[in-house]
Structures are given as C-alpha cells and as structure tokens.
Structure 1
Amino acid sequence: MTDWSRIEADDCAVPADRSLEELVRELSAALADPDPSVRDGAPYAVLSTWIERGVIPAPRRLALGDEMAARFLDPEIQARTFAPLVLDMLVEKGDFNSAWVAAFEQWYPAEQDLRGHDEKLGWLHAVAHGADLLDRFGRHPDVDPVRMLHLAAARLTAPTDHVLDQLEDDRLARAVARVLTRTDMSEHDATAWLDPIGARFGADRLSTPVPAHVTNCLRTLRLLYVLADRGVRPPGTDAAPEALHHAAAVKERVAAVLDRIVKR
C-alpha cells in the first residue's frame, strides 16, 4: 500500500520505483474509499497537486475525468460525492469533456443522500461539492451558463426530507452567484431559471413544520439576494466582490419568488 502521507511530505514527488499509471489508479480508488482519512487525506492532496502541476499527462487526466463521470452512478455515496471534486480539479487545469457535464447534470438533482457529514464516512457534501462543480462548469466557455442555472433550480426543487447543514445551501448560492457574473447572458437568461422555483413552491400550501426542501430553497435564495446586492468573491479569497450581471433584475426576481413562497 502506498504511503501517501510520505509522498505528500516529500513535496508530492513521484516515487521512482512506481509507475505513474499504477499510482493514478490507486489515487482514483482512494478518492472513493469509505475511510475518510484515506479519501480526504493525503491522497486527495497528492492528486490535486499532480493535476495542478501537470504531473499526470493530459490523456490520462481525460481518462480520469471519464472515471469520475461514471462514478456518479456508483452505489457508494462517498464515491459519488467526491467525483465532482476531481472533475473540478481537472476542469480548472483546462481539461474538458461535454460528457462530464451531462453525467453531472443527471446526478446532481437526483442525489438523495444530502448529508453534509457522517460520523463514519466523514465529509460527504453532495450539494456543496456539486455546487463547486456547477460553478466551474457554469463559467466554462464551452458550457451554456443557463443550463447550469436551471440545474441549480432542479436541485432546489427536488424533494427531500433533509434540511441542509454544513453550509451546503451557502455553497450553492455562491455557485449560482458566480455563474451570474457571466456577461454573455441576457436579463431573461439571468432570471428565468427562477420561474420554475416560484411555480413549484408558490403553488404549495405550506404546512408546519415547513418541509425541508422549502427551507433549503428559502435559505439559498436569501443568500443569493445578498450576493446580488453586494457581489460575490472567488472561493477562499479576500478579493473584491465581483458584481453579478443584471444584478438588479436578479434581486427583483429573487425577492418576488421569496414573497410568493412565504406569503402562503
């Protein structure tokens, strides 16, 4: 078994006595491991570094992306929810395959296990990890941003009994806000994705306690309103907030949708 902690400590240098292909296969398997110390520890750091530095050649990175896209159908929750993290690394590096977008689009709103953290499996973060990839795809020049906005709406309107925790709703709101910074969308494009949300929840007679999926939607849209008003920063930075394109129209539509939901 490879000592990934040792490799990480050695500035992620590739061991001379191992083939890179063998190591990448092992890393791919580690990112689906049910042991969080394996999945979310040194193997994650090493893989991220090797992708960033171009240690893994482009053809192998594309094959790795195909493996992650197929993993959206994996029966194990931790395998499904760590796949978008690897795809995010690859797309950031410059790799892209439209089939990855299609696979993600099928998985994201359909995922039913929305736990942020599990005592045994560790971090799962289906919504948050998916939001990070939605952000990445939504700002990619080969992906229609409207497609990702409607995907966010599909995730928000998908029925669930789980109230999002571990800032999952915040991550989704920030991802949507980042997509909305694109300047190649019309005002209609930037706001029409909210119509299905208003139609879906505005038609419901809210009971008490409020259903989980309605709570999740309300919290996500409330933060989106703030971000439309103040701008959104790139993740993990103190950079100046970037303004959303058509911010005023987005605020107006979000406010109208929120009002339509809560007034019932």
Structure 2
Amino acid sequence: MTDWREIYETDCALPPGRRLDDLVAELAAALGDPDPEVRDGYPYAVLAAWIRRGVIDGERCLALGDLMAERFTDPRIEARTFAPLVLEMIVSQGSLRPEWLDAFAAWYRSEADLRGCDDTLGWLHAVAHGADLLATCGVRPDIDPEPLLVLAAERLLTPTDYLFAQREDDRLAKAVARILTRTDLTAERSTAWLSPIGAAFAALERGPMPVWVSNTARTLRALYLLADLGVSAERGGHPVPLAHGDAVKARVAEVLRPVLP
C-alpha cells in the first residue's frame, strides 16, 4: 500500500523503484474510494500535482480521462462526483476527447444525488464539481460554449429535493460567468440559454417555491453580481468582464421577475 502522505511531504516526488503506471492505477482507484480521507486527501493532492507537472501526460492522461468518463455511470455516487474533478485537471493541461464531454453532459443534466456533503462519504458536491469542469471546458476556444450554457440551464431546471446548501449556486454561477467572458459570444448567444428558465419561471403557479426554483433563482442572482463585477478564475484574482455583461444582467433580471417578491 502506497503511503501517499509520504509522497506528498517529499514535494510529490516519484518514489524510487515504483512503476508510474502502477501508481496511476492506484491513484485512480483512490479517487473513487468511499473513505473521504483517501478520496479527498493526499492521493488527490498528489494526482493534481503530477498532472499539473506533466508527470502524468500523453497516453496516460488520455487513459485516465477515459476511465473518469466511464465513472459517470458508476453506481457509487462518490466515484461519479469525483470524476469531473480529475477530468478538470486533465482538460486544464490540454488533453480532451469529445466523448468525455458527451459522458459529462449526460451525467450532469441527470444526476439525482446532489448532496453537498455526507456524514460518512464526505464531500460529494455533484453540482459544484461539475461546474468546475464546465468552466474549464467552456473557456477553451476549441469548444462551442453554447451547449455548455444550455447544459447549465438543464442542470438547474431538473427537479430536485436538495436545496443548495454548500455554495453550489455560487460555483455554478461562476462557471457560467467564466464561459460568458468569451469574446466570440454575441449578446444573443450570451443570453439565449436563459430562455427555458424564463419560460419555466413564467409558468409557475402560486404557492410554495419548489426547491429547484430556489436553487435556480439563487444561481442567477449570483450570476447577476458576477456580470456586474466581473469574474476571476482563481480566488483573489483579477476580475475579467463578461463579454456582454449588461445584456446578461438585463436578461437575468427579466427572467427573475416572476419569482421576486
């Protein structure tokens, strides 16, 4: 059994006498482990460092990405929700297959278990983890941003009994805002994805607010703020303006009107 803490404390240096392929396989297994100390602990940190530094590159990165794409249909929620985090690491370094996006989209729009954190399994965070991958894919110039904006809307419109409690609304709003910084987007393309949400809000009947409506309204309010102030990729970073921030704000305000007091 590899001591990942020891590796982490040696600046994530490769341990002598170990095959990299064996270590990568062990890390891949750890990132789906039900023990949160394993899944979200030292193995996660080591994997992130090795991908970022190019220790895991080329065919190894592609194979790892293929495995994570397969995990979107894994019966274990902890495996499904950590797959986008690993894919985000890989895509950030340049590797991407179209089928990874297809697998991600199918999972993200339909995942039913949206719990932020579980007492036994630890962090799950399907919406937030998926949002991180959504943003990283959405700022790549070789990817059409509109289907990803539509995917964000589909995620919000999917009925759920889980009320966002762990800043999922902020994470998803930030992902959408980052996509909307793309200068190749027109004002119309920056706002068209909001139309299904507007139609759904307009059709609401009087009575208690459904959970999905609360989640969606809070996400859009956060997006309005980012459209006004700009969005940074990293916490504390320099905010970048949205390509059509005023148009986004106007459309978000219009969409939100039916659910405002």
The verdict on a shared fold, with TM-score over 0.5 as the criterion, is yes
Amino acid at match of 2:35: D
Task: Report the Cα offset of residue 117 of structure 1.
Answer: 0.5
Q: Using the TM superposition, give the Cα deviation of residue 206 of structure 1 relative to its aligned residue in structure 2, in angstroms.
A: 4.0
Residue aligning to 1:234: 233
Contact 2:201 2:256 (8 Å CA) reproduced: no
Query: How far apart, CA to CA, are the structure 1 residues paired with 2:178 and 2:12?
Result: 31
Q: Which runs of 4+ in 1 moved over 6 A?
A: none
SS in 1 for 2:102: helix
SS across alignment from 1:242: coil
Within 5 A, what are the aligned runs for 1:199-214? 199-208=199-208, 210-214=209-213
Q: Which range moves more in the overlay, 149-158 or 195-204?
A: 195-204
Specify every segment of 5 or more residues in structure 2 that has no aligned partner in the other structure, as ranges: none
1:219 is aligned to 218
Q: Is the Cα–Cα contact under 8 Å of residues 228 and 243 in structure 1 kept in the other structure?
A: yes
In the TM superposition, what is the alpha-carbon distance from 1:200 to its structure 2 partner? Answer: 1.6
The offset of 1:75, in angstroms, is: 0.4
Task: Show the counterpart of 1:29.
Answer: 29
Give, in angstroms, the shift of residue 262 of structure 1.
3.6
The 5 Å alignment of 1:51-130 reads 51-130=51-130
CA RMSD of aligned residues (A): 1.0
Higher alpha-carbon deviation: 169-178 or 14-23:
14-23
Deviations 1:109-128 (CA, angstroms, capped at 9, x unpaired): 10011111111000111000
CA distance in 2, matches of 1:78, 1:57: 25
Aligned residues: 261
Residue of structure 2 equivalent to 1:180: 180
The Cα offsets for residues 191-242 of structure 1, whole Å up to 9 and x where unpaired, read as 000000011222121422x211000001000011111111112232x22211
Q: Is the 8 A contact 1:198 1:261 kept in 2?
A: no
| Alpha carbons 2:163, 2:211 under 8 Å: kept | yes
Q: Which residue of 2 aligns with 1:260?
A: 258
Task: Tell me the equivalent position of 1:39.
Answer: 39
C-alpha change, 1:149 and 1:27, in structure 2 (3 Å) is same
Once the two structures are aligned, what percentage of the paired residues are identical? 58
Task: Give me the whole-angstrom Cα distance separating, in 1, the residues matched to 2:126 and 2:118.
Answer: 12
Instruction: Provide the rounded CA distance (Å) in 2 between the counterparts of 1:158 and 1:7.
Output: 42
Alignment-mate amino acid for residue 180 of structure 2? L
Q: Distance in 2 between matches of 1:117 and 1:178?
A: 25
In 1, the alpha carbon distance for the partners of 2:238 and 2:2 equals: 42
Per-residue CA deviation, residues 72-107 of structure 1 (Å, 9 max, x unaligned), is 000000100000000000011111111111111100
After superposition, give the CA deviation of every residue in 1:140-199 in whole Å (9 maximum; x if it has no partner).
122111111000000010000110111011000011000000000111100000000011
| In structure 1, distance between residues paired with 2:211 and 2:78 | 22
CA distance in 2, matches of 1:22, 1:98: 27
